[in-house]
Amino acid sequence: MKISMSVNGKPVSAEVETRTLLVTYIRDNLRLTGTHVGCDTGQCGACTIHMNGQAVKSCNILALQAEGADILTIEGLAKADGTLHPMQEAFREHHGLQCGFCTPGMVMSAVDLVNKHPNPSEETIRAELDGNLCRCTGYHNIVKAVKAASAKM
């Protein structure tokens, strides 16, 4: 079937099999490999992107469910001149990543979190990030980074 959507501000369309997952379309068709697949079962949040401004897990959605949608992936977060988004900058500044595998999903989820809860408390950040798993950092610096970014967003 034919699908069309906007990804990081650019219109895209393609002929796909109905069973194509959104994450497969993003990674394999569009070659935007910043969106990661960790668990492929909707548990880990590594595949988090924004669909019409809402954070969602792209491994648990069909590409067809995103027909006509505005999609934002980690590649679309920085400015065209390379200036990082405040959330990305804060993750770097506060050492909110180690291996980096969870980071794209963590950052996309955190941006949605701050959009909906401006100036979140540490408790809110921890509660609202529980759909994103990180095997490296112990979360502490991630929470610090989100807190710092929220002051600048």
CA distance 58 to 80: 24
Task: Provide the b/e sequence for 99-125 (b: ≥16 CB within 10 Å).
Answer: eebbbbbbbbbbbbbbeeeeebeeebb
Residue 132 or 141: which CB sits closer to another protein? 132
Is residue 4 a contact point for ligand FAD (CB under 6 A)?
no
Smallest gap from residue 35 Cβ to ligand FES (A): 9
CA distance 85 to 146: 12
Is residue 18 a contact point for another protein (CB under 8 A)?
yes
Using CB under 6 A, pick the residue from 43, 52, 54, 83 that binds ligand FAD.
43
User: Which of 127, 137, 134 is closest to 95 using CA atoms?
Assistant: 137
Is residue 54 a contact point for another protein (CB under 8 A)?
yes
Separation in Å, CA 109 to CA 11, 32, 98, 105:
23, 18, 18, 6
Pick what 37 binds: ligand FAD, another protein, ligand FES, none; C-beta below 5 to 8 Å, kind-dependent: ligand FES
Is residue 37 a contact point for ligand FES (CB under 6 A)?
yes
Q: Which run of H or E residues covers position 38?
A: none
Considering only residues 78 to 117 of the shown chain, the ones binding ligand FAD according to CB under 6 A are none
Helix, strand, coil in percent for the chain, rounding step 5: 40, 15, 45
Smallest gap from residue 150 Cβ to ligand FAD (A): 25
Q: Which amino acid is at 97?
A: L
Using CB under 6 A, pick the residue from 1, 78, 99, 127 that binds ligand FES.
99
Is residue 42 a contact point for ligand FAD (CB under 6 A)?
yes
**Site residues (CB under 6 A) for ligand FES?**
37-40, 42-47, 57, 59, 97-103, 134-137
